[in-house]
Structure 1
Amino acid sequence: MTTNRPRIRRRVLRISTAVVSVLAVVIVVFLVWANSVMQGERPAALEVWRNPAISVTSTDHSIVMSPTENPSGTGLVFVPGARVDPYAYMYKLSGIVEETGATVVITKPTLNLALLDTRPLDTFTQDVAGISNWYVGGHSLGGVRACLLADSPEVTGLILFASYCANDLSASTLRVLSISGSDDGLSTPEKIEAAAQLLPDDTVFDVIVGANHASFGDYGVQPGDGTASLDSAQMRDQLTAALAEFGL
């Protein structure tokens, strides 16, 4: 019996070429999707850059907003939601910088997807000197990533913005604040409540009435979300008040 080895090799080559071509297309489609971010609204970010009370520094991996006077020594590392422009969170988070002197470090996640970002927390905390009290937090899937970073030894507490944990932190000594919106169509009140058991018993839950999922940033309408009745300035004020009352 003889075998047609050249024919078999050609068939294997064709199959291999087809598989590689399909994988290449999948990778390209994924990269295009991951880099098609929900853009931040430019006027909102520019307002922060022009605010004399706030100093803004942008690096290749973060945006640092710090007070120009009287820093409090408290810092927050904030992880953006999936495929949301990190600059879209500047305006909403700038209120706490101006109000209490806290420093906010907004991360720039790998491929705009927080769960693909495996860099340790000190990648971002080292961007700021003089912080003795670090919190970690995030919006939506960024909050899920923040929960994973919360076990870092320098972390005092966790702040969830329209988010919840996938890992169990119920036995931790972390100070935890969960801020959500009453009209959130994605991280719904029901989902927040269902995951509450993964947080410490003394977790503070704050619901901002009239806020939806996209209210936590300035990046426009998000598919599947509810309808907000608060405007951007009102949401900033409510968010700042919640963070200040918590002690950030």
Structure 2
Amino acid sequence: MNRVLRWSAWVVTVIVLIAVVFLVWANIVMQGTRSAALQVWRDDRVAVRDAGDSVVMTPTGSANGAGIVFIPGAKVDPYAYMATFRQVVAAGTTVVITKPTLHLAFFDTRGLSTFESHAPDVRSWAVGGHSLGGVRACQLAPDADGLLLLGSYCANDISRSYISVLSVSGSRDGLSTPEKVDAARHLLPSNATMVEVQGANHADFGAYGAQPGDDTATISRTDARQQIAAAIEEWVRTLPSGSALR
């Protein structure tokens, strides 16, 4: 009996230690670059508010009726993507950047409606994500009018879906490499729009500094951000004006 109790105590202790280590690891996030975030806060074309479960960015001028629920990459500060979508929001699109459970998209079981409720005037919703966030976005794609992948690719097959898809990758991405994006291309609809930003790396899709395992970008962050935003703005125009595809 004593041996059983000792083994039970040992097993419980190990489980608790593993849980503690995991929680500490999960909460060490790649922080958003402060200067890039401040530029967005000071942009009078964009309104930013913290909704608790997400960061909501809305245009202060005329809106185009489109919105994007965007899921951050693993352990990346949601505010790091404000700079990515600054120009997109200024052009009229609402963007809701989620705050995933434990900073990891796969632990977040909330549906799109949770985040869409923060912008009830939006008529057409797309779901998107960066890196691991994009993989999760693919799983939620059947509930959306469009899918946006930034430095990411699907693990599930949505090739028979009728939604509008945009995949923006970087030629210098050391994590979601061009080879990985190409290998997963068959999981997307045949008419998906594929854009590769020459010289951009994995971290160029957010503003959070360098990321371990990434390759060195050969273009400036400003240049990469402008090209990414331009691709998204053009793609937004292809989204349906309502939610008829859901």
User: 1:232, CA displacement in angstroms?
Assistant: 2.3
Residues 13-32 of structure 1: pairs in structure 2 closer than 5 A: 13-32=5-24
Counterpart in 1 of 2:244? none
User: Is 1:143 matched with 2:134?
Assistant: yes
Q: In structure 2, how many angstroms separate the alpha carbons of the residues matched to 1:19 and 1:60?
A: 37
Residues 111-150 of structure 1: pairs in structure 2 closer than 5 A: 111-150=102-141
Gaps of 5+ in 1: 1-8
Q: In structure 2, how many angstroms separate the alpha carbons of the residues matched to 1:157 and 1:202?
A: 12
- Aligned 8 A contact 1:173 1:200 in 2: yes
User: Is 1:172 matched with 2:164?
Assistant: no
Q: In structure 1, how many angstroms separate the alpha carbons of the residues matched to 2:191 and 2:219?
A: 28
Counterpart in 1 of 2:220? 231
Gaps of 5+ in 2: 238-246
Residues 149-168 of structure 1: pairs in structure 2 closer than 5 A: 149-152=140-143, 155-168=144-157
Q: SS at the partner of 1:30?
A: helix
User: 1:244, CA displacement in angstroms?
Assistant: 1.5
User: Is 1:49 matched with 2:41?
Assistant: yes
Q: SS at the partner of 2:142?
A: coil
User: Is 1:69 matched with 2:61?
Assistant: yes
AA at the equivalent of 1:192? V
User: 1:92, CA displacement in angstroms?
Assistant: 1.1
Q: In structure 2, how many angstroms separate the alpha carbons of the residues matched to 1:199 and 1:125?
A: 24
Counterpart in 2 of 1:6? none
- Aligned 8 A contact 2:40 2:83 in 1: yes
AA at the equivalent of 2:110? R
AA at the equivalent of 2:29? V
User: Is 1:214 matched with 2:203?
Assistant: yes
Q: In structure 1, how many angstroms separate the alpha carbons of the residues matched to 2:219 and 2:233?
A: 19
Alignment partner of 1:108 out of 83, 94, 99: 99
**CA shift digits 1:61-82 (9 cap, x unpaired):** 1000000110111000000000
- Aligned 8 A contact 1:92 1:235 in 2: no
Q: In structure 1, how many angstroms separate the alpha carbons of the residues matched to 2:160 and 2:53?
A: 32
Q: In structure 1, how many angstroms separate the alpha carbons of the residues matched to 2:94 and 2:52?
A: 18
Q: SS at the partner of 2:169?
A: strand
AA at the equivalent of 1:43? S
AA at the equivalent of 1:86? P
Q: SS at the partner of 2:210?
A: coil
| Percent of aligned positions that are identical | 55
- Aligned 8 A contact 1:150 1:158 in 2: yes
User: 1:247, CA displacement in angstroms?
Assistant: 2.8
Q: SS at the partner of 1:150?
A: helix
AA at the equivalent of 1:120? G
Q: SS at the partner of 1:179?
A: strand
Q: In structure 2, how many angstroms separate the alpha carbons of the residues matched to 1:80 and 1:244?
A: 19
**CA shift digits 1:3-39 (9 cap, x unpaired):** xxxxxx1111110000000000000000000000011
User: 1:56, CA displacement in angstroms?
Assistant: 0.3
**CA shift digits 1:188-219 (9 cap, x unpaired):** 00000000000000011000011000000011
Normalising by structure 2, we get a TM-score of: 0.95
User: 1:236, CA displacement in angstroms?
Assistant: 1.9
Count, aligned residues: 237
User: 1:43, CA displacement in angstroms?
Assistant: 0.8
Counterpart in 1 of 2:170? 181
